[in-house]
Amino acid sequence: MENLQQMTDEQIIGRVRGGETRVFGELVQRYQDPVFGMALRLLGGRGDAEDVAQEVFLRVYRGLDSFKGEAKFSTWLYRITYNLCADWLRRNSRADRRAAMIEEAVEVADGRVNLEEGILESETRDKVRRALNGLDERYRNVVVLLYYQKMSYEQIAAVLELPMKTVETRLYRARKLLRESLESGAGGGVG
């Protein structure tokens, strides 16, 4: 039996395009946790994240022939994930969902994320949640992708379809707003 785990994404895609649809499961195995994690952080609810993650893999499978390989497969996959999450949020925008999204994102990270020198110590988690919740969506998105999804600036630019300079500017501004909010003790209302 062959070892699909040692194949590159591109090799697997080639085989799926060649009619070996069963090997698509290897791509799902590789990316199901990161896709679900991203959806969970952006949407806030497990059920919603599971639904979106399923839809992501359906779209990827159906659209595999349109993948041109100009970007990494993972970047293309995360762009689809981001777009489906953004669509879901537009359809279901409620303030309580946004608050739940930030709360669950911080809990999922459970202190593994270092926004700036230990900012997520237990006594500051509530302040950070409020500060993140208070960020405008354009700033919150880059923070989630960088610190929670561990994406590079280049990947964030590709996923959000933004120039690199815009990503850098938004991250700079987001950090500044978070710092100001946390220093003021308000922990909210930034943006």
Q: With 50 as the cut, is the pLDDT of residue 108 above it?
A: no
Q: How far is CA 15 from the centre of its chain?
A: 28
Residues of the chain with pLDDT > 70: what percent?
Answer: 77
Contact 115, 38 (CB under 8 A): no
How many CA atoms lie less than 13 Å away from 117 in the CB half-sphere?
A: 1
State both tokens at 64. 């595999």
Q: Can you give the pTM of this predicted structure?
A: 0.68
Domains of the chain: residue spans and CATH? 7-93 (1.10.1740.10), 94-186 (1.10.10.10)
Contact 136, 173 (CB under 8 A): no
Residue 116, pLDDT score = 45
Residue with token string 């919740």: 133
Residue 109, pLDDT score = 42
Angle at 112 between CA 111 and CA 115, to 5 degrees: 80
Q: With 60 as the cut, is the pLDDT of residue 50 above it?
A: yes
> What is the rounded CA–CA span in Å between residue 185 and residue 106?
18
Q: With 50 as the cut, is the pLDDT of residue 110 above it?
A: no
> What is the rounded CA–CA span in Å between residue 114 and residue 142?
15
| Mean pLDDT for the stretch of residues 86-99 | 68
Residue 153, pLDDT score = 92
| Mean pLDDT for the stretch of residues 59-88 | 90
SS3 (DSSP) at 123? helix
Predicted confidence (pLDDT) per residue in 167-181, tens digit: 999 999 998 988 888
> What is the rounded CA–CA span in Å between residue 169 and residue 175?
10
Residue 93, pLDDT score = 66
